[in-house]
Structure 1
């Protein structure tokens, strides 16, 4: 049914369907990260410090 068929007198417009939301994300904190060697140590294939993965487009082969 079109919205014009409902009695909306006295209904306040809303700008978000869920209502009064607040930011629920955690605070950003600087943490350590993996070294390149650790990140690549279980990679099936690697080349020049990067993951080497099968191509899914074009000629094929690894990229």
Structure 2
């Protein structure tokens, strides 16, 4: 799962940079930002689940 988060994060960053460089293709920036927000949310949720699972085992 961690590898998937990295891949989506890198793709989001590349799309944002491409969108900024090309300026005419604004939808790339929008898709990149949405993907970046999704990665942050997924990482936060997975982190909370992991912390919750660790606390439950003790």
Does TM, scored on the shorter chain, surpass 0.5? no
TM-score w.r.t. the length of structure 2 is 0.21
- The structure having more radius of gyration, on CA atoms, is 1
Q: Which has the higher strand share?
A: 1
Give 1 or 2: higher helix fraction: 2
Q: Which has the higher contact order (CA 8 A, sep 6+)?
A: 2
TM-score by length of 1: 0.20
